[in-house]
Amino acid sequence: MIEAKDILSFNFYTYGQAFKGSYSGMRYLVQMKKRELPLPEGSEEGAKPPVEKYFFVATWPEPFSYENTDESLIKKVEYPFKEESYHDIIDYLNGIHKEYVKTE
């Protein structure tokens, strides 16, 4: 079972670093990303668009790295960048890992 210690602390992600791990046949990536949002209507010319932070989470089957896995095998989800989402990510990873367990 994946626990908070297995994906590092929430604070780790505030620096924009990615964390990659594996569990029970599944590899995963957790990262804080940023994207620009559209300017609100009536914004001044030259105004900077607001920026949204979010968690990007990807899972894929072992044995390959994220970069060397066929894109069609990678499942991606996003969560708002807040501490509550950090715990939702742990729940998500624990739930989806069953899809990666090999049964022979």
For 51, 63, 71, 74, 76, the CA distances from 68, given in Å and listed in that order, are 30, 10, 9, 11, 16
pLDDT digits (tens, 9 = 90+) for 34-59: 999 998 888 888 888 999 999 999 99
The rounded percent of the chain whose pLDDT value lies above 70 is 98
Q: What's the predicted TM-score (pTM) here?
A: 0.88
Average pLDDT (4-25) is 92
Tokens (6 digits) for 101: 């367990």
pLDDT at 25 over 80: yes
Residue with tokens 């009536």: 42
Average pLDDT (77-89) is 96
Q: Where are the domains of the chain?
A: 4-38+48-100
